[in-house]
Chain A
Amino acid sequence: GAVVSQHPSRVICKSGTSVKIECRSLDFQATTMFWYRQFPKQSLMLMATSNEGSKATYEQGVEKDKFLINHASLTLSTLTVTSAHPEDSSFYICSGRGGNNYGYTFGSGTRLTVV
């Protein structure tokens, strides 16, 4: 079945630094990639939607200059958290859709801790 590989699984960074999270679709072409964040004991909230080769569409309240999304190829999308702060600490997860893959396939998630 369709697989999305997400790295890193865990990252700890200092406040003010940037962190890049990668999602790769391994056996299908993800024309659309969704990025979510999940705060402790809460559900997943959509941050942005990206289509390959075009700018991402951000949900209301999500700072596009802080959460940079790149979807330059059909198999790779990245989320960069810039100038991270402790309140950015969260679980970030991507999902990809493309081709005959109509069921969303999720990556394994990234636990970001900003200290």
Chain B
Amino acid sequence: AQSVTQLDSHVSVSEGTPVLLRCNYSSSYSPSLFWYVQHPNKGLQLLLKYTSAATLVKGINGFEAEFKKSETSFHLTKPSAHMSDAAEYFCVVSAPGGYQKVTFGTGTKLQVIP
């Protein structure tokens, strides 16, 4: 069984300040973890993924996430928010290996204030 919890449904930051979107997972195995971004009325774009390699994962657009097994967390961060980062972000967990079902978190809406 697997589940993922996104602790904040909304996060608001000022442009140029750091972003932290929190994600905790539950899994009976060593999972694969992903972060996706969804802009309004658009599909999902993969930001980054963790698949049991380096625990600090760098993604696109300056985002990164750190896998912490002891805390069962995979928080998404960015040093400096840009207006274009305003979107919905989803944390996703999957069993390791290919062709496994994924479970989506409930999403965090990021607002960036000019």
Instruction: Chain A residues near B106: list those with CB within 8 A.
Output: 42-43
A106, B44: Cβ atoms closer than 8 Å? yes
Number of A residues contacting the other chain (C-beta, 8 Å)? 23
Q: Is the interface of A mostly helix, strand, loop or mixed?
A: strand
Instruction: Chain B residues near A45: list those with CB within 8 A.
Output: 104
User: Which A residues, 15 to 47, have Cβ-Cβ distances below 8 Å to chain B?
Assistant: 31-32, 34, 36, 42-46
A102, B43: Cβ atoms closer than 8 Å? no
A97, B34: Cβ atoms closer than 8 Å? no
Stretch binding the partner chain, chosen from A61-69, A71-79, A80-88, A107-115:
A107-115
Q: How large is the interface on B (under 10, 10 to 19, 20 to 34, 35 or more residues)?
A: 20 to 34
- B: residues with CB less than 8 A from A are 32, 34, 36, 41-46, 49, 51, 90, 92, 94, 97-99, 101-102, 104-107
- A: residues with CB less than 8 A from B are 6, 31-32, 34, 36, 42-46, 49, 93, 95, 97, 102-109, 111
* CB pairs A–B below 8 angstroms (23 shown): A34-B102, A43-B104, A43-B106, A43-B107, A44-B44, A44-B104, A45-B104, A46-B102, A93-B44, A97-B99, A102-B49, A103-B34, A103-B46, A103-B49, A104-B34, A104-B92, A104-B94, A104-B102, A106-B43, A106-B44, A106-B46, A108-B42, A109-B41
